[in-house]
Structure 1
Amino acid sequence: MLTPSAVPRRAVLAGLAVTVAVVLAGCGGGGKYSSATEQGAAPTVPAGATAGTTTTFNDADVTFAQAMVPHHRQAVEMSVLAETRADNTDVKALAKRIRDNQQAEIDTMTGWLAAWGRPAPMPGAGHGTALPGTDHPMPGMLSDADMQKLADARGTEFDQQYLTMMITHHQGAITMARQEIATGANADAKALAQRIVTEQQAEITAMRDMLSRL
């Protein structure tokens, strides 16, 4: 079982939180944009994107979406593994909920980026992806080695690794979401960020409880 020391883990997360705060706060310092005026014509709005996503946004909104898409993709990948490797029924149910919710949010954010005329991260870019425009790794992202260890595990060992790794992963997502709430301009993106904070913090509490019972 992969059981990182709790103290180093907190230290790493604290350091990453500071890094993201600095990076994303800097990104949020730019002016607001209108995708219609910036590109000369109103862009095609993807299915599921609201009118608000095509008007006001800033660099922090773009960075949030471009970073959170691959972050969510890794959570989906982790959760798909649970379908054939997890033993605990509560872990399986949680993994399915995470997979479905985060895939829906990926679809929403890629729609926003298209509406804003900004590139969406390509699937399969690898793990440990850096924050857009920086060399700083996204907080909570697992390494390829960690993902391989998770894929190799089965039964209770998988359940313990999945919950431990997903707690760290969620903590990283919450760090990025809080920066969007603080520095973003787009109302829809800020609302999604707030939902990520609320829902993933609740899931962290549930996962810690599951770990204590395994």
Structure 2
Amino acid sequence: MTSTSARIVAGLAAFATAVVVSACSKGEDHNAHATSTATGAEQVAAHSAEDVMFAQMMIPHHEQALQLSKLVPDRSTNPAVVKLAVTIADEQQPEINAMKALLLQWDVDPHTMPDHGGMPMQGMVDDATMAKLQRLKGAEFDTLWLQSMIGHHQGAIEMANTEIAKGQSADMITMAKNIVRAQQAEIDQMKQVLGG
């Protein structure tokens, strides 16, 4: 148990390190705080198939947002678009890392695609649009990029709202709420840039 705990703790520094260690410890000395740590451990460990599917679908969804963000510096001169791309990348890479860490904690391979019964990942940008974005520059690029990213964010919000309603993992639900809040704010910004 201790070597497994050590591996978990090493891989999940951001996720309840002390809780995992103390929950896995079987010493009698921990009775004084056993109730609080056990409750915390259950919240970290408790998860459902919905939580797993959300993470497995949101990871590639976020990865495409990173790909979209990387297109901006060479193709846009609009400071608002450039700033949005940086913000999106700065938010979503840590979320990818956190979701992968949770999947590992649940003994799920983060690189395995889920069996989601044919349910599509909402908002994903199709290959033709991705190819077109790579060819465009300037105002034309900005317009298509903003339109694509708005749809992409709307899809992420739909997925996150499903996780909030049906998920079990406290960590994953908190992340889903953060996704809804951050991406809705960015949608509002992108619509303003498009409207301007």
Tell me the TM-score normalized by structure 2.
0.79
* Paired residue type of 1:147: M
CA contact (8 A) 1:76 1:99 kept: yes
Matches within 5 A, 1:4-153: 44-45=8-9, 46=11, 47-50=13-16, 51=19, 52=41, 54-121=44-111, 132-153=115-136
CA separation in 2, counterparts of 1:63 and 1:71?
A: 12
The alpha carbon displacement at 1:187 in A equals: 0.7
Moved over 6 A (4+): none
CA contact (8 A) 1:140 1:171 kept: yes
Residue 164 of structure 1 corresponds to 147
The alpha carbon displacement at 1:62 in A equals: 0.6
CA separation in 1, counterparts of 2:85 and 2:115?
A: 27
Residue 180 of structure 2 corresponds to 197
CA separation in 2, counterparts of 1:155 and 1:132?
A: 40
**Partner SS for 1:84:** coil
The alpha carbon displacement at 1:119 in A equals: 1.4
CA contact (8 A) 1:181 1:193 kept: yes
Aligned pair count reads 167
Find the structure with the greater CA-based Rg: 2
CA contact (8 A) 1:54 1:116 kept: no
The alpha carbon displacement at 1:146 in A equals: 1.2
Residues 1:185 and 2:168 aligned together:
yes
CA contact (8 A) 2:47 2:167 kept: yes
CA contact (8 A) 1:113 1:119 kept: yes
- Give unmatched runs, 5+ long, in structure 2: 20-40
CA contact (8 A) 2:153 2:187 kept: yes
CA separation in 2, counterparts of 1:110 and 1:156?
A: 36
The alpha carbon displacement at 1:143 in A equals: 1.2
- Give unmatched runs, 5+ long, in structure 1: 1-35, 123-129
The alpha carbon displacement at 1:131 in A equals: 6.1
